[in-house]
Amino acid sequence: MPTAALALVLGVGGALIIGRIVESVNDRLLDASARSIADTLALEDGEVTLDLPPSAFGMLENDERDNVYYSVRVGGELLTGYPDLPRIDIDAASTDDVVFAYSAYRHAPIRVAAIVRRVPRVEAPVVVQVAETLDARSSLSARMLAGLLVLETLIVGLLVLLVPIAVRWGLVPLAEVRRGIARRSPTDFTPLTLQQVPAELRSLVDAFNGLLLRLENAVEGLRRFTADASHQMRTPLSILRAHLQVLKREGTGTEGGRASLADIDSATARLQRLLTQLLALARAEGNRENVLRLARNVDLVALSRSVAEDHVPAALEAGIEIVFDAEGSASVRTVEEFARELITNLVDNAIRYNRRGGTVWLRVAAEDAVHVVVEDDGPGIPPGMRAHMFQRFRRLDRAHSEGSGLGLAIVSALANALGGTISVTDRPGGGLRVAIGLPRDLAQNA
């Protein structure tokens, strides 16, 4: 198809160019003939005369024996020539330019050249016209078009032969890249080399190498996540297995059996919380479009108050006071379940790692974005360790062995899914301050 289009363009373009060349060459001969006749005009005894030079028509002779016609008129009156030769429009004031036009004469198409001359002491302008039939022009055009057709056929034939060869040669580096990718193992993320890659493909290879790097990071993150998750689950499962063995031996009526039941209950609760957090993390890191479909209008003040009320029993058990500070409402378009899980994890961590007798503050402030702020007056987190606090399974306080290290990782993932921001600073007077900024409309921040 591209070759046929090229042949069509060459054919049409060549025909137009040949037509202009043939017309230009023959018009020059007509121009010279008309001027040579006009140059012989003179005034004798008050009459305009001319002496037709033989060369005026000799230069128009050709192998096709075209008919040549002429006329000379003074003020519209025929001086000599063919009286019925068609007259073409020409400006009488133009005395040096030759005007050309196509016409018909004696049932044949002709090309006419006309020039105006002024004879001294003669008021009327003299118009000289020379015309010829078009047989020679048509014959020359046909011969040139035939030559062009032969040349075009050769060019198109060469293109048909050479283009596939050139394409195959140009695709050799791409084939090498393809073979290199095909030979790789599923775990080989080594970047492709750019040494043999053409400049046109380097941006593609660079983009592919970037994809490999992101895949490597994702696979490595998944590997670490799987290893850490299996390690975290191994402890409660081992506890369950050990205490089930105790129950098999002693039953539930002994003191040891009752202690085992309590430990089983604790391990089960820990395992349940771990699985819940893993599911929450997986959902938070899921497809962005799915998150957008879940968005609806949510009052963060009411939602935060509900979270604070849910944590009152745990706070009382830990000897910690919860203070809720927000007025009115703060409506945002977001995913309610994600927002609740985010605030829940922040409050849960603030209670879990605070000191007995401490306080946890939960505030909501509505500005351009809505900020949910959780503060505590506990030991806080040193600035040097804050870069790691949102990593999975990273427990900054080893004394609290019941934690899984997923709470703040879930906070980070949920904030990112909701288009929010996280700010961690020291609380004035001691403790930690974590502020989450959520956009008014999740879709506009996507």
Tell me the torsion sign for CA atoms 84, 90, 93, 98.
negative
Return the beta strands (E) in 356-395 as ranges: 359-366, 370-376
Question: What confidence tens digit (pLDDT) does each residue in 90-134 have?
Answer: 887 677 789 999 999 999 999 999 999 888 888 888 899 999 998
Is the pTM higher than 0.75? The answer reads no
Q: Which residue has the higher pLDDT, 216 or 11?
A: 216
Cβ atoms of residues 343 and 361 within 8 Å: no
Q: How confident is the model at residue 401, as a pLDDT?
A: 45
Residue 443 has pLDDT above 70, yes or no: no
pLDDT at 398: 42
With bands split at pLDDT 50, 70 and 90, how would you rate the model's confidence at 312?
very high
Higher pLDDT, 283 or 356: 356
**Tokens at residue 227, please?**
């290893």
Residue 277 has pLDDT above 80, yes or no: no
| 336, 296 contact by CB (below 8 A) | yes
Q: Does 333 have pLDDT greater than 70?
A: yes
- The pLDDT value given to residue 227: 67
Residues 133-155: tens digit of each pLDDT: 988 888 888 888 888 888 888 88
Task: Read off the tokens for 445.
Answer: 């921040």
Per-residue pLDDT band at 419 (split at 50, 70, 90): confident
Residue ranges and CATH numbers for the domains of the chain are: 2-143 (3.30.450), 199-284 (1.10.287.130), 288-445 (3.30.565.10)
Please give the angle made by the CA atoms of 421, 426 and 427, to the nearest 5 degrees. 100
Q: How many CB atoms lie within 10 A of CB 415?
A: 22
When pLDDT is cut at 50, 70 and 90, the band that residue 5 belongs to is: confident
C-alpha angle 378/383/385, rounded to 5°? Answer: 90
CA distances (Å), origin 266, targets 47, 263, 323: 135, 5, 28
236-248 confidence digits (pLDDT tens): 677 777 777 777 7
Percentage of the chain with pLDDT > 90?
15
Residue 184 has pLDDT above 50, yes or no: yes
Higher pLDDT, 7 or 144: 144
